[in-house]
């Protein structure tokens, strides 16, 4: 394996919380990268398990470990991005892993692109923790260029680990998630904000392994109580934050109206639910496609 030590510095951000038994995979997959000019910034949201000792036990000069006195995706990512010195910033969840050529492939591609390309993403493959050999599915997206409008219509590119962003672009949108938007740590909302600032490109290759079924709570699990009200807050925030995009393409409001209708119906708020159903029909008048919502509204099922 050829090791590349020159080239621009890359900052890799990892948020963690009580993952002492899982974070090995994340750290070691970065240590095995063919591209070695990187800093791995691990931000611990006040873990109560052995996470700190595990991370420090690697005694790796690439690792910058900080432990906060509280946790949350927005808070932790902001703390990490403030430390980031790299030309490019990328991300890795503490329970997943990069393939060995992930960073090198993205950096090489980025360096060949004009300055207006501020984000490059790749594909990712899902695996069960109980069967790390057989893939469940590959998440593929093929958006490129100016995607500032279409990216607000649906979570077409998901997974922060797939993304590599120019440092100045990432910091221009605050360098973190917006957890006040309703959904905690939303990749979709973050990607949409970044894409208002730059063009994007992609590598048609899966360079990340994402593991499910490991039995550990997500970092944001405790924040998802009362899910329906937070879904309502999220989609209303999206419609407001990206109003100019939706004004150019009113049909892109469809998924937001659908979810708002369903969430209000789940809360028994029939007046609001019917309001969004009518907006949905005006956006895309299809009783066949919207039939599930209609059943929910009529029979609360």
Mean pLDDT (the chain) is: 92
pLDDT at 251 exceeding the cut of 80: yes
Q: What pLDDT shows up at residue 224?
A: 45
Q: Encode pLDDT of 74-96 as tens digits.
A: 999 999 999 999 999 999 999 99
pLDDT at 223 exceeding the cut of 90: no
Which residue did the predictor score with more confidence, 158 or 251? 251
CATH match for 10-221 among 3.40.190.10, 3.90.550.10, 3.10.150.10, 3.40.50.300: 3.90.550.10
Kindly calculate the radius of gyration of the chain based on its CA atoms and give it in whole angstroms. 20
What confidence tier does 199 reach under pLDDT thresholds 50, 70, 90?
Answer: very high
This prediction has a pTM of 0.91
Q: Encode pLDDT of 8-38 as tens digits.
A: 999 999 999 999 999 999 999 999 999 999 9
pLDDT at 100 exceeding the cut of 80: yes
Q: Encode pLDDT of 115-132 as tens digits.
A: 999 999 999 999 998 888
pLDDT at 299 exceeding the cut of 90: no
User: What gap in Å lies between CA 169 and CA 118, rounded to an integer?
Assistant: 6
CA-to-CA dists, residue 14 to 72, 127, 260, angstroms: 12, 20, 32
What confidence tier does 238 reach under pLDDT thresholds 50, 70, 90?
Answer: very high
pLDDT at 282 exceeding the cut of 90: no
For the stretch 155-159, contacts whose Cβ atoms lie closer than 8 Å and that sit 24 or more positions apart, written own/partner, are: 155/187, 155/188, 155/191, 157/121, 157/187, 157/191, 157/200, 158/187, 158/188, 158/191, 159/124, 159/187, 159/208, 159/210
Q: What pLDDT shows up at residue 289?
A: 66
pLDDT at 295 exceeding the cut of 80: no
Q: What pLDDT shows up at residue 286?
A: 66
- Domain range summary for the chain, segments of one domain joined by +: 10-221, 225-299
pLDDT at 217 exceeding the cut of 70: no
């Amino acid at each position: 394996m050829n090791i590349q030590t020159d080239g621009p510095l890359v900052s890799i951000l990892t948020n963690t919380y009580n993952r002492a038994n899982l974070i090995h995979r994340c750290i070691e997959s970065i240590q095995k990268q063919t591209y070695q000019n990187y800093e791995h910034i691990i931000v611990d949201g006040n873990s109560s398990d052995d996470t700190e000792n595990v991370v420090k036990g690697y005694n790796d000069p690439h690792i910058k470990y900080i432990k906060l006195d509280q946790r949350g995706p927005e808070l932790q990512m902001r703390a990490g991005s403030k430390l980031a010195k790299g030309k490019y910033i990328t991300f890795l969840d503490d329970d997943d892993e990069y393939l060995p050529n992930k960073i090198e492939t993205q950096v090489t591609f980025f360096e060949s692109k004009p300055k207006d390309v501020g984000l490059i993403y790749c594909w990712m493959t899902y695996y069960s923790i109980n069967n790390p050999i057989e893939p469940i599915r590959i998440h593929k997206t093929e958006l490129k260029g100016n995607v500032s409008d279409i990216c607000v219509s649906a979570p077409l590119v998901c997974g922060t680990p797939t993304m590599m962003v120019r440092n100045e672009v990432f910091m221009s949108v605050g360098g973190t998630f917006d957890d006040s938007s309703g959904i905690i740590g939303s990749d979709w909302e973050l990607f949409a904000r970044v894409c208002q600032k730059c063009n994007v490109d992609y590598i048609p290759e899966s360079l990340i392994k994402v593991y499910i079924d490991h039995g550990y709570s997500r970092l944001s699990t405790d924040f998802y109580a009362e899910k329906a009200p937070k879904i309502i807050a999220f989609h209303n925030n999206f419609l407001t934050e990206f109003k100019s995009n939706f004004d150019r393409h009113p049909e892109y409001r469809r998924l937001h109206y659908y979810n708002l209708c369903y969430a209000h119906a789940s809360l028994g708020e029939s007046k609001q639910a019917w309001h969004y159903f009518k907006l949905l029909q005006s956006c895309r008048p299809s009783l066949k496609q919207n039939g599930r919502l209609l059943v929910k509204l009529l029979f609360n099922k």
